[in-house]
Structure 1
Amino acid sequence: MKIKNLLYSFLFCNIFFMANAQTASTKNADKKYDNYAYADAIKAYESLVEKGVRDEKVFQRLGNSYYLIGELQEALKYYQELFFLNENQEAEYLYKYAQCLKSEGNYTQSDEILEKLSQKAPSDKRAILFLNNRNYLEDIKANSDRFDIADAGINSKDSDYGSTILDNKLVFTSARDTGSIIKKNFKWTNKAISTLYSVELNPDGSIGKPMLFHKENLKVNFNQSTPVFTKDGRTMYFTRNNSVDGKRRQNENKITFLKLYKATLIGDEWKEVQELPFNSDEYSVAHPALSIDEKTLYFASDMPGTFGLSDIFKVSIETDGTFGKPENLGPEINTEGRETFPFISDEKELYFSSDGRPGLGGLDIYVSKINKDGSFEEVQNIGEPINSKQDDFAFIINSKNRNGFFSSNRINGQGLDDVYRFTENRRLICEQSVSGTITDQETNETLSNVSLILFDEAGKSAVEAKSDINGNYVFSNVKCGKKYFIKTSKEEYLFKEVSLTLKKATGSTSLPIALEKKPKPITAIPVVIKVNNTIKPVKVTITVGTDLGKLLQIPMNFFDLGKATIKKTSEPQLQKLVDMLNQYPTIKLDIRSHTDSRSSSESNQILSDKRAESTKDWLIQKGINANRLTAKGYGETQLVNKCADGVKCTEKEHQQNRRSEFIIVSL
């Protein structure tokens, strides 16, 4: 009995100590993970797994750690274990799992996981982008094969990335062995810290020997990377670990984030190194890029206001050298994932890397044209071979010769990250010309001087044109792959709206348009009406096509906004119609209801149909024979002025389009 109790006690104590040891190991691993020491966290968590621990949190953090250091296939292994334990995971793990599946080319299963993401988090922009771009692989294929790429000739067995041009030099980031006796490692990856190197770019296309770029004032024992230079070569912005006077700075949790710094070239030395004022000890700011006029600095950060893990921001550089308030580029660019490594080309294009958009896997490189008003055009994946199943980033291009460099951790590279050079052989610009001939629907006669407006589904990109002497029109440089509308107007002809969807291929689209003439008067009779409700009669002649609403001076606002029920206060005015129709029992009316261009064309059509029918029913209730009335809504298809979608107009101008017409069709 005592022996048995002793055995139980021994087992209990052994289990107790093992549990305590496991708890201590887990806490140690968690501490490393929370301090962004992902390489050390991986070792600690994998040690637990080797001891038989199968815990959701452990697999979540192992997957995340490998994901954040760019080893997607290793991350996939642990995400698979995680979903085997429990398929019901948060949206973030669904997305990262899908991304890692792409790293092995398993796009079918990746898309299945993204479908689950869209059900679990329907408002997540990454899910919305996937649902709206199910054929993203076809789109990427259409954008591919435009580049010739090759090893840049500067890579080592370590990490080389983040290049930029200064005069005839390529300045880049490297973690290569400098031969120092004391080697410092970056806790994020447990690899050697990175610093700046430069290499001569010779006129014959060859490359010199990489040399340390920094002078004494730039020598530090912390990571520094991704520089960008002003055109005069006198100012440099770059990324560095948070430090002051060569000493590391940490926040209250002993975490060192990234910051942006500025240095000035004085003589042949970079001096006056100072951090930018919007840095913080509580978040990272990194990877600077300059606008063409050098008045705006773009960068990546996870500062407050960030949509995802990191977003792209911009900040104005004032004439006195101070900085404005950082602005998030917004949901046109940023997602719940990672947006990073911005670059602005001389053609005002924003290139950046993202893992939050439909892509090939990991970080892909995307591009968007910056409009004059600061908005962005459609974001496009620049395709293979620049993009791969792994992380692709730090893209720069010379807009004149179409040569450039980018970085990648793709398989078969020389090191952890490598710099590649490229030449772009075909532009990504996809545009079409839309043209056609305007004719009379009845006679087929060509019509000159017809006004046309082209606009997209969002009512933007409005462009005006006119048909020439032969009835021909053309809209040049129209973006591919979108739905557009064309509205026409010409005196004596009815307004018309036609739609078309352009293919995603450069070329031309033909769209002939036939217009219908407005009804011509075919007969006329004299009538007597009252003016301003006085008893003084006025004798006028009405014809087929006369609008009794205008003739009787009936106000057009007899409906509440967005409704189709006639207001009681408007009935006395409409009674004029009843009196006229009773006085002249042979008149037949066509009731036509119109809206302005605001709101969608579909909802406007529905509302105008309801209003026309409501007016007809009201007249019938007042004793007018239904055989004398027809009713139709025209929505926004017959505007009386220029106020189409995308055209700025006053409220008074919009009011002109919100009207009802009571057209005589028979006498």
Structure 2
Amino acid sequence: MRTLSKYIVIILVSCFTASFSQTGKIQSVKDDYRDFAYVKTSEVLLEVANKGYRSVELLQQLANSFYFRNEMDEAARWYGELIALEEVVDPEYYFRYALALKGIQDYENSDKWMAKFNELKPDDLRGKAFKSKEDYKATIEDLSRDDIELENVDFNTEYSDFGITEYENSLVFASARGGGRKYRWNEQPYLDLYSVEKTSQGYGEVKALEGKINTKYHESSAVFSPNGKYIFFTRNNYYKLKYNEDDDGINRLQLYRATLSEDGTWDEIHKVHFNSEAYSVAHPVLNLTGSRLYFASDMPGTFGQSDIFVVDVNDDGTLGTPENLGPSINTEGQESFPFINTNGDLYYSSNGYPGLGGFDVFISEELDKKVSEGSSRNFPIENVGKPVNSEADDFAYYENLVTKRVYFSSNREGGKGSDDIYTFEIPECEQYVFGTVSDKDSGELIPGATVRLYDAEGTEIEQLIVGDDAAYKFSLDCEREYLIRGEKGDYIAYETRFSTPKKNQELLLKLFLAKDMQAIGPCDDLAKILDIPIIYFDFDKSNIRYDAEIELQKVIAVLNKYPTMTIDIKSHTDCRGLASYNERLSERRAQSTKQYLIDNGIDSGRLVAEGYGESQLVNDCGCEGESSSACSEEEHQLNRRSEFIITSIKGERCNEN
């Protein structure tokens, strides 16, 4: 039983050589705070951007600020500026840009950027795609389910039984139980199609399918049209009592279509037009609407020993021209037994991708939808994991998403025959996301914050206002993509995107919000308030670089807003190098920074600039003794900083020495 049954050898081997609904508003400063000075980060960003200064981070934050307030005209403007930088950005920004354009009825350009988003987004679905060969075992283990209990169905026999499909209230499958002439490869009878009724107690009596479908040769792998009028099935190349072989004496597999007669039997057997004596065509399955049929074949254009193909189904049951699903589904090995569930997901068996052994079952989500849309043949796949897959051959996967019942076939150890049918009920999957909302700087909880949950398309699903414990919790669906956002008043909204697995999970996501509006006063450092990193200069130079200009424009925006504000510009170095050199270099850089502010309209009388070299280190990374050698580059970096200390504002002075 650990080797592929001879029936499957014949069948597989010898025959196959949104837009977000956020409508928040900017809250005005409360009366209680009217005597304090504040910096609103979004206003500073807008002022800097309006002056023509651009960076990816600045434009992302600015565009998002309008997008979250549903001001799509401004959002479209700044997302457009972001894209125009031609820098690498998260594909999510293409999505938002498209929706912002749609919000101003620019549908042509919206479609353009939505297409770009669709092109880039599959690259982000690595968690649902087939993993690299180096870690495939760990990946399969992660995808496996320990909450599934397999059942070997009662109607299995000592012979080969496989390939379930549903028809009305019955299961239809292939079996060698029928007696009669035996197949010489395994000394078992030839396969026929059988049906068994589902009952409240389990299963009824197994009966051969009525009509003209079964013959003295192999029949297997049936599928019924949605209206119940047609059945497609696999048979040896045996038609009108004639047994046909190719030039090498091999009898290939072919697809046939039968029609339901008035007496409830299947007759009017017809070959599909692309059958051939030179190659095999087998294992048909229809999509939900019956508009497309998927099958396996080694016809010309096949990448390996057998591939998965798709063909359109005409209203009269005839078929169009087959197309290969391409190299992301097919390999140089064998791919067979396709199945399309009602969601359009493709399940199929392959031995061409790393697996647990023999044939494993793989899934490509929403493949039928992608085929319908005419998208490229780049279909991510992943192994469905244990217990469906094993070290043996696992194939002929079938699931009913309404009844939550799955059937598949395997020749694993412990079965009743050479191939057995197994079944299980899809377990209920419980998913939760929970966490707290806290201040990014202080770590303090933020009661009264709003937490919103969105689906992958940006539609708001649920929202809540957190209580004194600042805690939230949402129930989720499995195998879905979500975005969660925390927001409150004078804070900048924080959001994160995540996907849920197939397994039960409680996901902890803490939301940290940064202040958008911060009180400022004498002795405060604008560099910290505006989150300005070190003002970078080229090595051994003191000229202002473009990336430093963007940061300095934030300082200019604040100085213009508060004309009474004076500041002390302080430039610092780490300890490495001669102390005298560091002092001179930092002095030149401080004066260069001051001059830049003056050149941009700031009165020189409001500015003091001084270089401190290495005299005011913020840690123990001095260069005397052993302390310097013990410090990391990151620790030295903390000492290479720029400060913009407010020395006076609105008549109040800083008394710090």
Q: Which TM-score band (shorter chain)?
A: 0.5 to 0.7
Structure 1, gaps ≥5 residues long: 1-37, 40-63, 71-124, 525-542, 548-563, 591-615, 630-661
1:257 to 238, 241, 252: 252
Distance in 2 (alpha carbons) for counterparts of 1:379 and 1:356: 13
Q: Assess if the C-alpha contact under 8 Å between 2:152 and 2:420 holds in 1.
A: no
2:476 pairs with 1:477:
yes
Instruction: State which of 500, 508, 511 in structure 1 corresponds to 2:509.
Output: 511
TM-score normalised per structure 2: 0.52
Alignment match, 1:340 = 336
**Given residue 259 of structure 2, which amino acid in structure 1 is its aligned partner?**
T
1:446 lines up with 2:446 in the alignment: yes
- Counterpart of 1:301, as a letter, is S
AA aligned opposite 1:164 = T
Q: CA deviation at 1:362?
A: 1.5
| Count of residue correspondences | 440
TM-superposed CA distance for 1:462, in Å, is: 6.0
Matched, 1:133 2:129: no
**TM-fit CA distance, 1:321:** 3.8
- 1:275 pairs, out of 271, 274, 277, with 271
Cα distance in 1, alignment partners of residues 507 and 206 from structure 2: 52
Match of 1:391 among 393, 408, 411: 393
Go from structure 1 to structure 2 and tell me whether the alpha carbon gap of 1:620 and 1:324 turns closer, same or farther (over 3 Å shift): farther
Superposed CA RMSD: 5.5
- Asked if the contact 2:161/2:421 (under 8 Å) is kept, the reply is no
Contact 1:295–1:318 (8 Å) recurs in 2: yes
**Structure 2 residue ranges without an equivalent (≥5):** 16-127, 372-378, 531-543, 571-588, 598-607, 613-641, 648-657
Identity percentage of aligned residues: 33
Q: Which amino acid aligns with 1:197?
A: Y
Match of 2:420 in 1: 419
Tell me how far apart the structure 2 counterparts of residues 163 and 499 of structure 1 sit (CA, whole Å).
38
For residues 290-326 of structure 1, what are the alpha-carbon distances to aligned partners after superposition, in whole Å with 9 as ceiling and x for unaligned? 2233233222234455554433333333445454554
Please say if residues 224 and 241 of structure 1, whose CA atoms lie closer than 8 Å, have aligned partners that are also in contact: yes
Q: How far is 1:287 from its partner?
A: 0.9
Alpha-carbon distance, 1:173 to partner: 2.0
Give me the TM-score of the superposition, normalised by structure 1: 0.51
Among candidates 270, 284, 287, match of residue 288 of structure 1? 284
Match of 2:231 in 1: 236
Contact 1:126 1:335 in 2 (8 A): no
CA contact (8 A) 1:519 1:545 kept: no
- Once residues 589 and 498 of structure 1 are traced to their aligned partners in structure 2, the CA distance between those partners, rounded to angstroms, is 36
* Deviation of the 1:329 alpha carbon: 4.7
Higher RCO, 1 vs 2 (CA within 8 Å, ≥6 residues apart): 2
Tell me the distance in 1 between the aligned counterparts of 2:161 and 2:350: 19
Q: Distance in 2 between matches of 1:258 and 1:622?
A: 83
**1:50-98, Cα deviation, whole Å (9 max, x unpaired):** xxxxxxxxxxxxxx9999589xxxxxxxxxxxxxxxxxxxxxxxxxxxx
What is the CA–CA distance in structure 2 between the aligned matches of 1:283 and 1:626, rounded to whole Å? 83
1:238 shift after superposition: 0.6
The answer for the alignment partner of 1:437 in structure 2 is: 436
How much does 1:264 deviate?
0.6
Residue aligned with 1:396, SS: strand
Question: What is the CA-CA distance between 1:230 and the residue it aligns to?
Answer: 2.6
Check 1:484–1:285 CA distance in 2 against 1; reply closer, same or farther (3 A cut): same
* Aligned positions of 1:18-417 closer than 5 A: 68=13, 128-136=131-139, 138-139=141-142, 142-144=144-146, 146-157=148-159, 159-176=160-177, 178-180=179-181, 185=184, 193-201=190-198, 204-211=201-208, 213=209, 215-216=211-212, 218=213, 220=215, 222-251=217-246, 255-268=250-263, 269-303=265-299, 306-329=302-325, 333-346=329-342, 349-367=345-363, 369-370=365-366, 373-374=369-370, 379-381=382-384, 383-384=386-387, 386-403=388-405, 405-411=407-413, 413-415=415-417, 417=418
CA distance in 2, matches of 1:300, 1:335: 13
Cα shift readout 1:636-661 (whole Å, capped 9, x = no counterpart)? xxxxxxxxxxxxxxxxxxxxxxxxxx
8 Å Cα contact 2:453-2:485 kept in structure 1: yes
Supply the distance in 1 between the matched residues of 2:343 and 2:328 (Cα, whole angstroms).
19
- State the 1:408 CA deviation: 2.5
**Do 2:345 and 2:364's aligned partners in 1 also have CA atoms closer than 8 Å?**
yes
Q: Is the 8 A contact 1:175 1:194 kept in 2?
A: yes
The amino acid that maps onto 1:355 is N
Counterpart amino acid of residue 518 in structure 1: D
Write out per-residue CA displacement over residues 163-208 of structure 1, whole angstroms, 9 at most, x where no aligned residue: 333334443223456435xx6657xx78654332344555543542
Query: Per-residue CA shift, 1:316-359, capped at 9, x if unaligned?
Result: 33445454554555566555543322233456554433334554
